[in-house]
Every structure is written in C-alpha cells, then in structure tokens.
Structure 1
Amino acid sequence: MKYRWATFTAVSGAILSLAATPAVAAPQEAIYIYGTPVRVAIAADGTAYLGNYGQGGGVFVVPAGETRASRTISTGGHASTGLALGPDGTLYVATADGDQGAVGVIPAGDAAVARTIPVSAGLHPLAAGPDGTVYVANPEGDTVSVIAPSGTTVDRTIKVGAGPAEIAVTKDGTAFVTNQTAGSVSVIPAGADAVSKTIELVSDTGTSEEPHGIAAGPDGTVYVANIKSNDIAVINPGAGTVAERIFVEGGPQDVAAATDGTLYVTSLLTQKLSVIRPDATDVAGSLPTDGGPGHLAVAPDGSVIVISPGSSPGDGSVSRFDAAELAAASQGSTAAAPAASVEPTAAAPAANPAAEGTAAQPSADSWDTLPAVAGAVAAGVVGVAVWILVNGRRRKAGLPAPTRRGSGL
C-alpha cells in the first residue's frame, strides 16, 4: 500500500495457475453493496460501516446480522478511503478529492459528517486510540498525522519509514505503523511527537518483507502480516524485535485480532481466510474466500467480515463468515510447510481502488487496500503483475493518479 501497496511478484506458471483458480463455495454470507467498499469498521453493537470509494463516496451502514445497508452516510460526494471507530462510537472517515484530503467526523448515531479536518492529498488509512486520538497515515509523505481527541486540526505530524501502510493502536495508546516499502514497523508512544523505535522486517538480502496489515491483540501483542515472507510476525509488548513468526501461505495481506486473541488472516494468492488460535504457532484451519480477499474486521458476535475487491468493477464482494463456521474450520491444522518466499520482480501499485461506473449499478464490489493478482499464464514461467489498489482503480474512479510510490487505503 503506500500503499505502494506493494510490489508483488512474478511466479511460476504452476503456482499461478493454482493461485488464479476461483475459490470454491465458502461458508459465508454475502453483504450486498451498491458501490465500491474499500474499508470496514464494526461498532460494539455489531453495526458494520463500509467506506465507498466509488462514485458518490459515502459510508454504507449495515446493521448487525443484515445483508444490506440500511442507510448511507454522505461524505459530500468525496470518495472514502479510510475508516476508524473511536472509543465513544465516533466514526472517522478519510476522503479524497483531488489535491485535498480530509478526515470527516461523524458522532455516534449521527447521519452526517459533523465537521472535517483537512489533511494532505492521497489515500489515508486511519486508526483511533483508546483516548480518541486519531492517527492518519500519509503514504505520499512517509509520515503519520496525529489528531488529538475532539481536535479540529492536525495536532502534529511524525516522520516514519517509507511507505506507511496500516496502523494499529494498543490499549496503552501506543501506535504501530507498518512501513511496507522500508520493511519496518515504527513505534509511536501515546502523546509522543517522534518514533521511539523501529522494528526491522527485512530479508537476509536486505529487502523489505512487505509488512502490510497489522493488529493489536487484547494483551498488547502486535501481529504483522508480511506479504513477501509469507508469515505473521509476532511482537511482544514492549519489545523491539520480532519474537516469533507464524507461517501463512499465499502472501498474507491483512490480519485482525478477536477479543479472545484468535487471529484471522487474509491471503490473496491462495484466496483464503486463515484462523490462528490464541498462542498458537501455526494456522489451525482456513476457509476459501470469494475472490482475492483484503481488509477484514471481527464483529462482537465472533463473525468476520471480509472485503474481496475483485480485479475489475462489479466482480468484488463483501462477505460475512459465521463464528460457528470459523470455529469448525479451526479444528484441524491446514498449515503447509514454509516455502521459499517469492521475490517481486516488478514494482506495481498495491492498493488500487476501482470505482464503479455508476453508483446506481448493483454490485457487491469491494476494495481492499492490498495487491490483487492479475495473471497471464503461458508455457513455463510466467510473469504476473500483482495489483490492487491505487493507480488503476483511481483512474477508473476519475481521481488523479498518485505522483510517487502509490497511495493507500
């Protein structure tokens, strides 16, 4: 994502053929959205919010257990690029509009944006801390902007590594930022105006492992999805290095932690949602997803909502995985032996939100802020450009292409 969202790979025809095979029917329930959902946030009552990058923008509101939006919160026609829920239920939505970005503030229960906070241009992932502090990743500037609780402007901007992709905040207010291009995680203590330490995630050859998704567990443990090294890096509370790694095949893109410590991981190449039990060292089981999965969130009832963006407008989807099915899938280990990570051979924008042609055309389109695979298989070894996000879909949405290294959602 810087979204650079990431360079990603040329692989052998055999591997690609496997990766490109459509997933079989999964134990999931479709959530029907007219637009291009790119992010998902779930409130304490189970209400799901889906940001629309498609024409008209807005945020779709899906009540707990429902399969269709009950209403849409307007963002003034601007494309939604990031979502975060504050501890009091306030919804924050990042929007993009040419050379100007903004973070809209929607108080709990309100049907409209109450105020906006200007930020730099680009696509901005968001995260909210336990005190209501909002962190905004700025992929174009390799920085994170901090908005104080109830703030009306950016309070301070902090330099991080190249290609900030995602942010997670622990219960003590420490923010962790994945720098996908640099291959590192920046640690920002609560109230700080600078990074306190940097945790390296690079290979033996000194190249980035493409750290992308990140989640904080209930005990403060931080989990990082590394696309290129095919694993989840585990960072213990207060640590400055990786304690262990959990192998997850297929280029893990995003990770979410449930309240009991269970981890859920989406892998785009294998089109799977993997389940890792609390304190486990391998994948307990997995379920096929509908297309290439990206962002996800865990609901209070234990279900998981996954966005699968698709490779073109109209073929994406948003799915809800039932808690019982997820529990059943984790009864037997399906983790394969670790394989050598695949080195990328060409840079490609990793986050590519594809917008709908018109908002009135029904579709279950979704955008994930992760690379999507578009493959061409020929005899022998075939080069595959792995895309998903920023430039291609920005062009379809009629938004200007980013000027350097992509931007992100």
Structure 2
Amino acid sequence: MKYRWASATATVGAILGLAAAPAVAAPDEAIYIYGTPVRVAIAADGTAYLGNYGQGGGVFVVPSGGTRASHTISTGGHRTTGLALGADGALYVATADGTQSAVAVVPAGDAAAARTVSVPPGLHPLAAGPDGTVYVANPGGDTVSVIAPNGTAVDRTIKVGAGPAEIAVTKDGTAFVTSQTAGTVSVIPPGADTVSKTIELVSDTGTSQEPHGIAAGPDGTVYVATIKPSEIAVIKPGADTVAERIFVGGGPQDVATAPDGTLYVTSLLTRKLSVIRPHAKDVAGSIPTDGGPGHLAVAPDGSAIVISPATSLPGDGAVVRYFAAALAAASLGSTAATPAASVGSTAAPPSAAAASNPGTQPGAGTPSALPASFWYAVPVWAAAAVVALAVWILVKGRRRRAGLAGAAKRGSAL
C-alpha cells in the first residue's frame, strides 16, 4: 500500500511512452490505390484526387487523411492524363483514348462530370486560372488550348515552344508553360491570344535544360524544375530571365509550393523529396521516397502526397503521404526525419500551423534550435524518466525494509 503511488507512476509513464511512440515512428503512410495513378490534386478541404492512367481510367477520391479511395469519378473508360482544381473547387480532368481526348469538368463535391470539352489528341497536362480559365498543353502540336470559364469548347489555341510539359498559373491569371524539348518557358497573360514573352532555359551549348515541373509561389515567383542541370530555376514576377538557380540533384521532375512559400521537389534518380525554405538559396533537407517519385501536391495541413508511377502491373507504383512533421524536420536539416517510407502507418499528422511555419516549433529561431522530431520525442524521454524514478523508489523502499528487518533480528539476539 505504501508504494501504490509508485506503481501508478510507473503505469502512467508507460502509457505516456506508448502514446508518444507513433508520433516518432511514422513520418509517412501509404495510400492504397489499385491502378496506375500518375497525377494528384488536393482540394482546400484536404480531399485528394488521383488520376488513373491505367485501364478504365477514372479519378480516385481519397478523403482528407484517408489511406483508401472512398469512390471513383468515372471518365467513361478513358485514361486520365491531367488534373487541375479551380478556385471554386471544380475538378478538371484531361483524358485520352486513342484519337479521342477531352477535358471533363466535375463541379465541386459532385461525383460525375457535368460536361466535357474536346481537345486535340494526345496526353494533356493542364492548369486552371483563378477565374476558371483552363489551359491545356498539347505536346503533339506544340500549342496550348484555352477553355474560357464555363466554356463548352476550346476558345483559342496559342503556339508555344516544342514539347510543352507542364503549366502553372499565378494569382493574377498569368499562365507559364514549360517546353521540355525547346528549353523555354512561355508566358501567357490573362485573356491573351499569343505568348507575351519567352524565357530561355538552355545550356551554354544551346541545348535544352529540359524544363519540366513548374509551380507558382504565393508572391508570383515561378519555380521550374530543370532535369539536366538538376536545378530549380527561379523566375521573379515580371522578369524576362532566370533570377537564380537552386541545385537539387537527381534530375528534379516536379515542384510544388506550400502557402508559406516552402518548395517541395521530387528527384527521380536519387529517389528523394527535397525541401527548400522560402527565399532560400539551397536545399534544407530531404526525405527518401518509395520508388522513383513523379508528381506531387501539398495539402492544407502541410503534408504532401507523392506519386511514384507503376513500372509494370497495375498497383505496382506507390502513393505516399509525407506528414507535416517530417517535412518540417527536413526543412530544419534533421536526419531523424528521413527514414525510408513506412507502408501502412496510421500516425496522425500534426497541426497545419506547425507544418507551414517551421519557425514556430519550440526552440526554432535560436542558435540552439532543435529539429521538430526532437520535440515529438520529448514525451518518450519523459516517460522513461518517470518509469526510472518509480523503479528507483521501489528498490530503495525494499532495501530500507530489509535493513529494518535485519536490525530487528540482531536486536532480538542480544
């Protein structure tokens, strides 16, 4: 009875340790999709849309924080080649099947397309502007099809560089198109019928640096993943040339921006997801990915979903959610946040505030700042300390009782 409180203390410590363990051990989790997902878009409520390039096509809809699709949006059996979300939550789906290609428009919250717009045959990356204008890349014709808001047909076609690969649209409605073959970025102002300027991304020998993925930051800065030099080219608002370059390595494929301006970059050859802080000149840290990563998207809670396309059979690829805590730790240069992808983890992500602004983590912003993973491990240390204290008290108590018993025996013998 005397030491019941010590046993209770040990029990509490053990519970604390068990409760804290998942937060330390799970930087990521797998999303289970049977198909060939190649595109991902995440809505403001955290719902993830995964476009299926495999047989039957369709778009898998994964609820916020979920690991499996709740349902599939049909594309009439056509393969999905592009996804984009409008400011009003509408989902735009580019499909292709032989000589037939189209863009399906799915209103926010609906489970089926309200209308489709025919576009030239081919594989079509696309992007949506803030007013609902949709830009569709046509790699076969080196053009971009523009669909006006609520349009039922292509409004105009604009010539761009050879091999248009990806499109990003800034908050003011300006579209930027990477042309991988030509080594250019074409700039299309809102409502324009032609390109207003062309930014070259070529080497000293005149060959393309293979610009591919592209993203627009919250301040209008545009970031381009260039495969050959393994860099992110930074284009400032209104500029005609690249302002600076950030070396990433591994042939960067795609780039995405968080609301605070943090960059996330996938590198195919080195199989990693790199984190670049806002306005930084180099990579802060990286996380190994499951397979060769391709497209990615950032969720409102600060997590990121990365697709590693299938190499052969349906379901052979990987779709992984990287939690905000791991990304925040990587941005602080922590090696503790870079284990290999753990399939099927069920750990819950931390708050969006901590993820979108690593500087708010305890201790951040000071010379002795510690990585986010340190603070998630604190409960484990505390639990261990509590258990150790309880064990010490029990041992001391037993020794004291043994000593008193021995003294009593000696006293009775005298």
In the alignment, what sits opposite 1:165? 165
Deviations 1:2-54 (A, max 9, x none): xxxxxxxxxxxxxxxxxxxxxxx983210000111110000000000001111
Amino acid at match of 1:168: A
In the alignment, what sits opposite 2:102? 102
**Structure 1 unaligned blocks of 5 or more:** 1-24, 335-409
The answer as to whether partners of 1:180 and 1:211 remain within 8 angstroms in 2 is yes
TM-aligned CA deviation for residue 251 of structure 1: 0.6
Amino acid at match of 1:93: V
Paired residue secondary structure (2:145): strand
Work out the CA distance in 1 between the residues paired with 2:52 and 2:334: 36
The answer as to whether partners of 1:26 and 1:289 remain within 8 angstroms in 2 is no
In the alignment, what sits opposite 2:179? 179
In the alignment, what sits opposite 2:236? 236
Amino acid at match of 1:88: D
Deviations 1:225-276 (A, max 9, x none): 0000110000000001000000001011100000000000000000000000
Work out the CA distance in 1 between the residues paired with 2:131 and 2:283: 33
Amino acid at match of 1:296: L
1:124 aligned onto 2:124: yes
TM-aligned CA deviation for residue 59 of structure 1: 0.5
The answer as to whether partners of 2:223 and 2:255 remain within 8 angstroms in 1 is yes
Paired residue secondary structure (2:34): coil
Work out the CA distance in 1 between the residues paired with 2:150 and 2:207: 40
Work out the CA distance in 1 between the residues paired with 2:253 and 2:277: 18
Work out the CA distance in 2 between the residues paired with 1:107 and 1:256: 24
Deviations 1:39-87 (A, max 9, x none): 0000000000001111111110000000000000111111111101111
The answer as to whether partners of 2:91 and 2:108 remain within 8 angstroms in 1 is yes
TM-score normalized by the length of structure 2: 0.74
Work out the CA distance in 2 between the residues paired with 1:237 and 1:36: 36
The answer as to whether partners of 1:292 and 1:310 remain within 8 angstroms in 2 is no
Work out the CA distance in 2 between the residues paired with 1:161 and 1:248: 25
The answer as to whether partners of 1:39 and 1:50 remain within 8 angstroms in 2 is yes
TM-aligned CA deviation for residue 333 of structure 1: 8.2
TM-aligned CA deviation for residue 219 of structure 1: 0.1
**Structure 2 unaligned blocks of 5 or more:** 1-24, 336-414
Q: 1:26 to 1:200 in 2, by over 3 A?
A: farther
TM-aligned CA deviation for residue 114 of structure 1: 1.1
Work out the CA distance in 2 between the residues paired with 1:211 and 1:252: 9
In the alignment, what sits opposite 2:140? 140
TM-aligned CA deviation for residue 174 of structure 1: 0.3
TM-score normalized by the length of structure 1: 0.75
Percentage of matched positions with identical amino acids: 85
Amino acid at match of 1:57: G
1:220 aligned onto 2:215: no
Paired residue secondary structure (1:311): coil
Paired residue secondary structure (1:241): coil
1:113 aligned onto 2:110: no
Matched pairs, number: 310
The answer as to whether partners of 1:26 and 1:287 remain within 8 angstroms in 2 is no
Work out the CA distance in 1 between the residues paired with 2:115 and 2:132: 16
In the alignment, what sits opposite 1:44? 44
Amino acid at match of 2:238: G
In the alignment, what sits opposite 1:322? 323
Paired residue secondary structure (1:325): helix
Report which of the two has the higher share of helix.
2
Work out the CA distance in 2 between the residues paired with 1:320 and 1:109: 22
1:199 aligned onto 2:227: no
The answer as to whether partners of 2:29 and 2:321 remain within 8 angstroms in 1 is yes
In the alignment, what sits opposite 1:155? 155
In the alignment, what sits opposite 2:350? none
Amino acid at match of 2:84: A
Considering Cα pairs closer than 8 Å and 6+ residues apart, tell me whether 1 or 2 has the greater RCO: 1
The answer as to whether partners of 1:291 and 1:310 remain within 8 angstroms in 2 is no
Amino acid at match of 1:81: T
Amino acid at match of 1:115: R
Amino acid at match of 1:137: A
Paired residue secondary structure (1:146): strand
Deviations 1:323-369 (A, max 9, x none): 011001121289xxxxxxxxxxxxxxxxxxxxxxxxxxxxxxxxxxx
Deviations 1:114-163 (A, max 9, x none): 11100011110010001000000000000000000000000000000000
Paired residue secondary structure (1:264): strand
Paired residue secondary structure (1:81): strand
The answer as to whether partners of 2:144 and 2:159 remain within 8 angstroms in 1 is yes
In the alignment, what sits opposite 1:376? none
